[in-house]
Structure 1
Amino acid sequence: MAAIPTEQRVLELFMKLSIATAVATIALKVWAAVITGSVGFLSDAMESGVNLAAAIVGFLALKISIKPADANHHFGHGKAEYVSALVEGAMIFVASGFIIYSAIERLMAPQPLEQPGIGLLLSTLASVLNLVVGLALVRAGTANRSATLKADGKHLLTDVWTSAGVLVGIAAVALTGWLWLDPVIALVVGVNILYTGYKLLRESLSGLLSEVIPDAERAVLDDYLAGFEESNDVTFTEVRTVAGGRQRFVYLIMQVPAELTVARSHEIADLVERGVDEALGGAETFIHIEPRGKRLKVRRAS
């Protein structure tokens, strides 16, 4: 059995941390909801339930994404991470629908809150936990180009803002006695979660549709190719890129002097492949070699 890369172990460790965090925050928020009877706390706990389900799906996606290319997947399984983000977005839509329904129901029949102070304390502890872990996940996801970690981290950070809104609502109810504030805050929470789900779905669908690499990475690639052109008497044209989860694919045409031998052209192409791989921190490059001066077919957008 092949050894698991260190990077993969680190990512899986972060996802396990996310799962543990979701379990802890669910317990705290459900406890707060039971004690106070607040639909705001209940809606907040439900979003944490979505976090837990999404973290589990994300962990499984990471396991799949590391699998090497096979007969049915010639370019590997990297896009499995986008699928996990897609599933998370769908889960968020379901949770937000239930939250909005519960809030409207409570708005029609307001109920007094009990022991709001204890509920506020429990929810605050859960929010601090989500904030710390969410920031860690986004940072690790960005550093390792993991769509799964970034999506999960952003969701946890959204949960922090959601919890902050709920805390403000509960505090306002405790101070003013206006019971309608609790379900109104829950409605706002539901709409906010709905928007989060929309953004995750949009981003994951873009990835599944072979989105180009980020602008910052494209700038690095262009700089490398420009420098290589100056020092090796070659010209790169029709550079295209694809981001597949943590994987990067680069397709380009390299024009060389017509008198250059096939063997030498191949040696130069190998140098380009290694250079691009190092510049982007991991990439697979496909190079088509042509003699300089050959008339190229112009690709037109359909």
Structure 2
Amino acid sequence: MTAALTDQRRAALHRRVRFIVFFTIAWNIVEAAVALTAGAIASSAALIGFGLDSVIEVASAAVIAWQFTRRDPERWERPAVRIIGAAFFALAAYVTVDAILALSGIREPDHSPLGIGIAVASLVVMPGLAWLEFRTGRELGSRSVQADATQLLLCIYLSGTVLIGLLLNALFGWVWADSVAALVVAVLAIREGVEAWRGDLESPFEVLEDLSREDETD
């Protein structure tokens, strides 16, 4: 697909990538600050993991931003993807330890309306952004851009999981739900890290892409 791209189209896609990653960085700085603050106040392993994921997303987007300011972005594909994969593994390790400490009774999470709010906001913003970035990366043939979009997809899964855990704790007093949500986040992070490290990136939006292709052929 990339061989058919004109220089003008490629330049336009590069500009779009830069816009996406700069927006991602700005959004996730705010998200990380809110989630980590709420997590610290509530002693929530899931929220702290959510905040750390936002920090990693900033780092991941920064890697892509750096790559696409190079004269030859394609040259830096492999190291960029490896860095993103390593970030997933680091997140999984931290969240697992924190969740185990919570399950052992060392920490007991409190209710967090602020955490619920930031999780809902993430569910509103991230899906469209991740879909746009993945389609852009696929058109460019860039695995690093697709890996970064997969990082955003993890944020969507994570937001939903964290939201469920926080709601169960708030509504029913199930304090263990927070730790279970955190462990689910860790498992997702390991899976995505392995796929990024291997460069085995399948579209998380295949159904939408199939519908889009059908519309284009009609």
- TM-score interval, smaller chain: 0.7 to 0.9
Q: Give the one of 179, 183, 199 matched to 1:183.
A: 179
Count of paired positions:
193
Q: CA RMSD in A?
A: 2.3
Conserved? CA contact 1:30–1:41, under 8 Å? yes
Larger relative strand fraction = 1
State the secondary structure of the residue aligned to 1:63: coil
What's the TM-score, normalizing by structure 2? 0.79
Q: How far does the alpha carbon of each residue in 1:161-183 deviate from its partner, in whole angstroms, 9 at most, with x for none? A: 11101111111112221212211
Partner of 1:92: 88
* CA–CA distance in structure 1, aligned partners of residues 151 and 197 of structure 2: 12
More helix by share: 2
- Counterparts of 2:195 and 2:94, CA distance in 1: 19
- Amino acid in structure 1 at the alignment position of 2:52: M
Q: Is the 8 A contact 1:86 1:204 kept in 2?
A: no
CA distance in 2, matches of 1:191, 1:121: 24
Q: What residue number does 2:216 align with?
A: none
Aligned counterpart, 2:208: none
Runs of 4+ in structure 1 deviating by more than 3 angstroms, as ranges, are: 4-7, 110-115
- Structure 1 unaligned blocks of 5 or more: 68-76, 206-302
CA distance, structure 2, for counterparts of residue 34 and residue 122 of structure 1: 14
The residue aligned with 2:65 is 59
| Structure 2 letter corresponding to 1:152 | D
Structure exhibiting the larger radius of gyration computed from Cα positions: 1
What CA deviation, in whole Å up to 9, does each residue of 1:19-64 have, x standing for no partner?
2222122123223323433111111111111111111111112223
1:12 and 2:12 correspond: no
What is the Cα deviation at residue 89 of structure 1?
Answer: 0.3
Task: Give ranges in structure 2 of 5+ residues lacking alignment.
Answer: 1-9, 202-218
* Aligned pair partner of 2:43 in 24, 37, 43: 37
Which of residues 49, 65, 72 in structure 1 aligns to 2:55?
49
- Overall identity of the aligned pairs, in %: 24
Structure 1: how far apart are the matches of 2:30 and 2:123?
A: 11
Higher relative contact order (CA 8 A, sep 6+): 2
Judge conservation of contact 1:123–1:163 (CA < 8 Å) in 2.
yes
Give 1:16 deviation, angstroms.
1.6
